[in-house]
Chains A and B, each alone.
Chain A
Amino acid sequence: MSTDFTKLFELIVAASLINNFVFTRFLGLCIFFGVSRRMETAVGMSITFTSVMMISAALSWLIFQYVMVPLDITFLKIIVFIGIVAGFVQASDTVMRKVSPGLYHKLGIYLALISTNCIILAVPLINAGEHYSFIESLAFAFGSGLGFALALIIMASIREKIELADVPAPFKGTPIAFIVTGLIALAFAGFSGLIKL
């Protein structure tokens, strides 16, 4: 049992720090550069993102193992997973609007953005590819969400300062954000080799 727990912990650390989706796998960059301008949006996005990620990973795992594998239609996984994610996001959008309008007002816009995020699709695809168990899939999804949140918050705090800096005109906005991200990625490269999976 304890070894299981160690394995899960390693998965979470690996997914959030070593194979951080933004800095070493380069996924979710559109959203990353889109919402990291202000701290407040970055935090809201992180919370919504992590919860949606875990639930959609769980749903995809169940459907993959109990529907697609028995029927031998795993080659349809791209279509099915994107259907699950888009459907789930749409459903939670509707439910949230009815059940808790306050929360919807705060996090609703991030929900709409999430369905076009590649990380949310990459997690189920990696889970299926690596044959993770249910709990491992959840741990991986949680770690990925955590890593994305970490990246967003670091980036948002830096970008709020960059706004005030004197950047050469052609580099204003996205180009300088890219170069800053490169510097952070260089720092994150230091985590590689921390755990061998």
Chain B
Amino acid sequence: MAQAENSYFDLIKNGIFKENTIFKLALSLCPSIAVTNNLRNGVLMGVAVLFVQVMVNMTISLMRDFIHPRIRLPIFMLVISGWVTVTDMTMAAFAPEAYKQMGLYIQLIVAFASILARAEMFASKNKITPSLFDGIGMGLGFLFALTVISFFRELLGKGSLWGYPVIHAKLLLVMVLPAGGFFAVGILMGFFNWLSMRKES
């Protein structure tokens, strides 16, 4: 039992650090820039992706014995778009303010390579519990990345966090502009590469 728990923990850790969707695999980059100019949107987007990833992983894992391998991709897409529609409508109903700004990007979770890849590589081959933890790990990794990016962008660009003013100066206005998103992701990616390089040597 202890071993099983251990491997679940490893699955989560794997998703957050070793195979972090944004910083390590460089996948699903669109929302990492589009919605991260303030912390609240970044976190909401991360939570939406976490939810979709977990639900998709679990659904696919439950269905894995019934899906003929030749038609698996359309089936995966169908499952993903089903869950994305659920998320989309929930967000529209409960967070209309944020939805107005990031509705399009929520709908585009459908086209996330990372979600499809996890369904294909992990959930379609594993039982439901490991799939659940794999989904949580990957989702948390994404949430972590978005939180870090939006934290720095909002703090440096607007001097506030979650809409509340923290420092009374706009240190780097460029960070909230579209261009700043690219800079932030590029620099953070470099930083994480540097960390893992230092660990190896």
**A interface residue numbers (CB < 8 A to B):** 23-30, 33, 75-76, 78-79, 82-83, 86, 116-118, 121-122, 125-126, 129, 168-171, 174-179, 181-183, 185-186, 189
Q: Known contacts being A78-B84, A86-B74, is A118 close to B111, with CB within 8 Å?
A: yes
CA distance A122 to B30 in the complex (A): 12
* Contact status B108-A175, CB under 8 Å: no
Q: Which of B143-201 contact A (CB under 8 A)?
A: 174, 177-183, 185-187, 189-191, 193-194, 197
* Contact status B89-A75, CB under 8 Å: yes
Q: Does B26 contact A (CB under 8 A)?
A: yes
**B interface residue numbers (CB < 8 A to A):** 26-31, 33-34, 74, 77-78, 81-82, 84-85, 88-89, 104, 107-108, 110-111, 113, 116, 174, 177-183, 185-187, 189-191, 193-194, 197
Distance to closest chain B CB from A21 (angstroms): 9
Give me 8 other A-B pairs in contact (C-beta within 8 A), A29-B30, A79-B85, A82-B81 excluded. Answer: A26-B181, A30-B26, A33-B29, A78-B85, A79-B78, A82-B111, A171-B193, A178-B185
Q: Known contacts being A23-B178, A169-B197, is A33 close to B26, with CB within 8 Å?
A: yes
* Contact status B190-A79, CB under 8 Å: no
Task: Please name 8 pairs of A and B residues whose Cβ atoms are closer than 8 Å in the assembled complex, sorted by A.
Answer: A27-B34, A30-B113, A75-B85, A79-B82, A122-B108, A129-B104, A182-B179, A182-B180
A179 proximity list for chain B (CB < 8 A): 182-183, 186-187
- Of A25, A129, A171, which contacts B190 at CB under 8 A? A171
A117 proximity list for chain B (CB < 8 A): 111
* Contact status A186-B110, CB under 8 Å: no
* Contact status A175-B84, CB under 8 Å: no
CA distance A79 to B182 in the complex (A): 30
- Of B34, B110, B178, B187, which contacts A185 at CB under 8 A? B178
B194 proximity list for chain A (CB < 8 A): 170
- Of B34, B186, B191, which contacts A25 at CB under 8 A? B34
B77 proximity list for chain A (CB < 8 A): 82-83, 86
Nearest residue (CB) in A for B88 is: A78
The 9 A-B pairs with the shortest beta carbon distances in the complex, nearest first, are A178-B186, A182-B182, A170-B194, A170-B193, A29-B29, A179-B186, A185-B179, A186-B179, A175-B190
Q: Known contacts being A78-B88, A78-B107, A116-B113, is A30 close to B27, with CB within 8 Å?
A: yes
B116 proximity list for chain A (CB < 8 A): 116
B110 proximity list for chain A (CB < 8 A): 78, 82, 121
Q: Known contacts being A30-B28, A78-B85, is A125 close to B178, with CB within 8 Å?
A: no
CA distance A179 to B180 in the complex (A): 9
Distance to closest chain A CB from B135 (angstroms): 20
Q: Known contacts being A25-B34, A170-B193, A178-B189, is A183 close to B179, with CB within 8 Å?
A: yes
Q: Known contacts being A26-B30, A26-B34, A79-B82, is A189 close to B178, with CB within 8 Å?
A: yes
